[in-house]
Structure 1
Amino acid sequence: MTIKNRFFVLVVLSALLWFNNANAQTLSYDTTYRPGKYKELVQKFNEEPIAKKDYIFLGNSITAGTDWSKLLNLPQAKNRGISGDITFGVLERLQEVIDRKPAKVFILIGINDISRNIPDSLILRNYKKMIQRIREGSKKTQIYFYTMLPVNASFEKFKNHYGKDEHILYLNDEIRKLAAKNVTIIDLYPHFLDEQKRLKAELTKDGLHLIPAGYQVWAEVLNKGGYLK
């Protein structure tokens, strides 16, 4: 290959790399997306009577996937998980949680944002907004933020959620830093990780959602960590 041809190849490769990087940085995303049952569930939540000293579990389908009061033997536990929800959806319905003045709020959210190409910077901004609004509206509520769980692409079911581990790792690092805002961080991620840095296959049914054995691990983390006292 002549020097001229080599130069041409390098120019073409450079152009392709630039094009790919440019596309990666301009992926489309929709912050207005809400799951099909979003309005119905929010209305249901709003109609529930307010009780003192509630423990609110707030998030998406991973939170929605168990009965927290039975799992934890905790009658005051209230499930505020909506399957498919994103951080923008949580912010939209957060006032219902704040108005209850709960004793504790446990938040796990973000994996659906990642699957929908919402930038990490916006997800992190929304985390901070959640904390600020709870602090302002319900000063005595203790805020607990979970790190996101790993995923397992070997199940080949939720492909939009796979191959984005760098986003999970980055946001988990940022979530851990929220401890500086007087937020209690519960680092779930390592408890669900296998040797290949994936969600343990024996704890999931599809590489994303947990089976009862997975929720038992979660409950053990909460009980051993003293977060429910």
Structure 2
Amino acid sequence: MKPLLNRVLVTNILFIFIFTAASAQVVKWDSTYRPAKYVELVAKFKADPKSKKDIIFLGNSITAGADWAKLLDLPQAKNRGISGDITFGVLDRLQDVIEGKPAKIFILIGINDISRDIPDSVILRNYKTMTARIRKGSKKTKIYFNTLLPVNTAFEKFKKHYGKDEHILWLNDEIRKFEAKNVIVIDLYPNFIDQNKHLKAELTKDGLHLLPAGYQIWADFLKKSGYLTER
């Protein structure tokens, strides 16, 4: 019996060692992170008059970087982008958007989650929670979900955002499936990639954020596709 017990003991110790080593390699992530100006901007958004004709652009710095009303010639377009925001931050401030019962909500969020090592499955879950809450709280609001934009490592500025293309591609594939769930998918990604599937250098200032030329491509795509005028 002793050899058998010894083998069992060794097997158990080996399992514990492997399990402990694997656990130690699990990347930690934080759902509570909020950008420095988050509270200030959320208060500003809450104070802003709301209308059922509003067209909300919801997201992070990539959304925040444009004057959507001017760019699209739509006075009812409202910018609800917060630089550095993650999907958890959007969920925390989503109720204020829902209560305004806007005509449309355009969502682009997730690249900062990726940079902070939030698991893809959690990001996807948050996407689905957003759409479900909007659908429940403002039934007439049209939901438009953008695929994530590519990045460009050549700029070497936002290194935590680079080298994670597989996460962008996986999430974009999942976002494209939203079409079957009464959500309109805006596939931005193909409009911004170069031959190496990186963000086109001429459209970005740092490999992550867009230059005016990039926003113009985005705006032209929205106009051409009829997303802004459909009811």
Query: Do the two structures share a fold, i.e. TM-score over 0.5?
Result: yes
- Counterpart of 1:97 in structure 2: which amino acid? V
Cα distance in 2, alignment partners of residues 53 and 71 from structure 1 = 18
Q: How does 1:97-176 map to 2 (within 5 A)?
A: 97-176=97-176
- Counterpart of 1:226 in structure 2: which amino acid? G
Per the TM alignment, residue 22 of structure 1 is displaced from its structure 2 partner at its CA by: 3.9
- Counterpart of 2:189 in structure 1: which amino acid? Y
Q: Secondary structure at the match of 1:159?
A: coil
Pair member with larger Rg: 2
Equivalent residues, number: 211
Cα distance in 1, alignment partners of residues 182 and 175 from structure 2 = 12
Residue number in structure 2 paired with 1:14: none
* CA deviation vs aligned residue, 1:146-200 (integer Å, no higher than 9, x gap): 0000000000000000000000000000000011111000000000000011000
Cα distance in 1, alignment partners of residues 144 and 32 from structure 2 = 26
Cα distance in 2, alignment partners of residues 150 and 184 from structure 1 = 20
Cα distance in 2, alignment partners of residues 116 and 66 from structure 1 = 24
Cα distance in 2, alignment partners of residues 24 and 86 from structure 1 = 25
Aligned in 2, Cα 1:141/1:24: closer, same or farther, shift over 3 Å?
farther
Moved more, 21-30 or 61-70: 21-30
Moved more, 111-120 or 45-54: 45-54
Cα distance in 2, alignment partners of residues 151 and 224 from structure 1 = 24
Per the TM alignment, residue 24 of structure 1 is displaced from its structure 2 partner at its CA by: 9.4
What is the percent sequence identity of the aligned residues? 74
Residue number in structure 1 paired with 2:13: none
Divergent runs of 4+, >3 A: 21-25
The answer to whether structure 1 residue 85 and structure 2 residue 80 are counterparts is no
Q: Which runs of 5+ in 1 are unaligned?
A: 1-17
Q: Which runs of 5+ in 2 are unaligned?
A: 1-17
Residue number in structure 1 paired with 2:223: 223
Q: Secondary structure at the match of 1:175?
A: helix
The answer to whether structure 1 residue 39 and structure 2 residue 39 are counterparts is yes
Q: Secondary structure at the match of 1:41?
A: helix
Aligned-pair RMSD on alpha carbons?
1.5
- Counterpart of 1:88 in structure 2: which amino acid? F
TM-score by length of 2: 0.89
Per the TM alignment, residue 51 of structure 1 is displaced from its structure 2 partner at its CA by: 1.9
Residue number in structure 2 paired with 1:27: 27
Per the TM alignment, residue 49 of structure 1 is displaced from its structure 2 partner at its CA by: 1.1
Q: How does 1:190-201 map to 2 (within 5 A)?
A: 190-201=190-201
Per the TM alignment, residue 52 of structure 1 is displaced from its structure 2 partner at its CA by: 2.8
Residue number in structure 2 paired with 1:3: none
The answer to whether structure 1 residue 180 and structure 2 residue 180 are counterparts is yes
